Structure 1
Amino acid sequence: MRSKKWIIALLACGGLAACGDTFGERALIGAGTGVAGAAILDGNIATGALVGAAANVAYCEKYPSRCN
């Protein structure tokens, strides 16, 4: 069961690859992925949303060519 959660969490992190075109889209997509990951891993949903949004925005700012 534990490995199943990790596999699902890694797949949820793959959702961050769908960056979005604007800052708002990037934050929303990242937040959705963070919420999904937190729900699967029985974590804090709000923290998952915040971390997911920040991670997606930061990634797309660092590597803009990979996000368009």
Structure 2
Amino acid sequence: MTHIKRITTLAAATVLMLGLSACSNMSDRDRNTAIGAGAGGVAGSVLTGGSTTGTIGGAVVGGIIGNQIDKDKK
């Protein structure tokens, strides 16, 4: 069982590192959109008890809000 735990931990760490490196060339606006969508998806899932519709709706709303943050700063 310990061997499976190590493999799972290594796989999760690898996926996390690849995911973080994918954001390295994003603009601030793109990064805000992705962060907003992720946070909105989590919030929507929590507020609706894990419903798919709530998760997707939260991600959409969070992405829109994240996209509009600092829109006028240039």
- Output the TM-score relative to the length of structure 1: 0.35
TM-score normalised over the length of structure 2: 0.33
Structure ID, larger Rg: 2
